[in-house]
Structure 1
Amino acid sequence: MTDSIRSKVKKTDQQWQAELTPEQYYICRQKGTERPGSGEYDQFDAPGQYHCVCCGEVLFDSAHKFDAGCGWPSFWQPVSESALNAYRDTSHGMIRTEVTCSGCEAHLGHVFDDGPEPTGLRYCINSVALRFVARSA
C-alpha cells in the first residue's frame, strides 16, 4: 500500500457522486454489479496494473489475471494482502465474500475458492471499479 493511501479516503456521498460516473457510483459505492461480459477488462490482456477507480490504490497485477469464463475480470491474487478488505456477504440469498479497496472501501466484487493454483482463489472484479495503467517499456 502506498503511503498516500495508508489512511482511508473518506468522502461524502455527494463528493463521490460528483467524481464518479453514475455506473461507477452504483457499483463502487452502492455495491452494484455490471452485467457479465459487459466490462472493459473482462477479455482485456495487456501488461500493467489495475488501480481502484475511486482512490487510485494499486489492487491487481496483470500477471495474476486469468480468463475464468465468468464474464468479469478475474485474478488469482491481489498485489498485496493489504490492498483489499474481505467481508461476509449474505445478500441475494447467497453466502459470498465481498472484496473492497482498503484505501476507500469501494466495492470491487467477490472472491471465490474455485480459482487456479497457486492460491485456488478467483477474485471476480467489476471492470468499472478498476483503472488500468500499462506497464512502462
Structure 2
Amino acid sequence: MEFLRSVPAFVFVFGGLACLILAFSLWHIGRRRDRQDVFTILSTDPKQLAQRAATPVGLLKPIKSDADWRAIQVHARDAAYRRAVETVRNRYQLVGNPMLLPNTLRTTMDRWDISFRDAMIRVANDDGLR
C-alpha cells in the first residue's frame, strides 16, 4: 500500500521537473532566435543577396519579347556577358518552351549561389546545370 502512495508523488515530482526542463529549453531557443536575423540563418551577406536578386527581367515568366532581351543585354556591359547573351538567345529561340531559359537561369543562380550575370555566362558555356 505504501508503494501506491509514493508512485503518484514520484510521477508528480518528475513530471514537474520534466515540464521545467521543457519550459527552460523553449525559453532558451526563443532567446537565441531573437539574436539572429534572416541573413545569419541563411549564411548570406545582405549585399550579396541584393546582387543576386537584381535581375533585369522577371524569371517567373517567359523571356520571349525583344524588350526582355534588350533589358538582359544592357544588364552588364562587359564583352563576356554580351557574348553569353547572344549565345543563349540564339540557342533558346530555337526551343519551343519559352520557360526553359528562365527556369535554367533561376536554377543555376540557386544551385551555384551566383548573380544573374554569372548565371548567364555559365548557361552560355555549359547550360549551367553541371
Range class of TM-score, shorter chain: under 0.3
The normalised TM-score by structure 1 is: 0.25
Q: Which has the higher contact order (CA 8 A, sep 6+)?
A: 1
The normalised TM-score by structure 2 is: 0.26
Q: Comparing both structures, which one devotes a greater share of its residues to helix?
A: 2
Q: Comparing both structures, which one devotes a greater share of its residues to strand?
A: 1
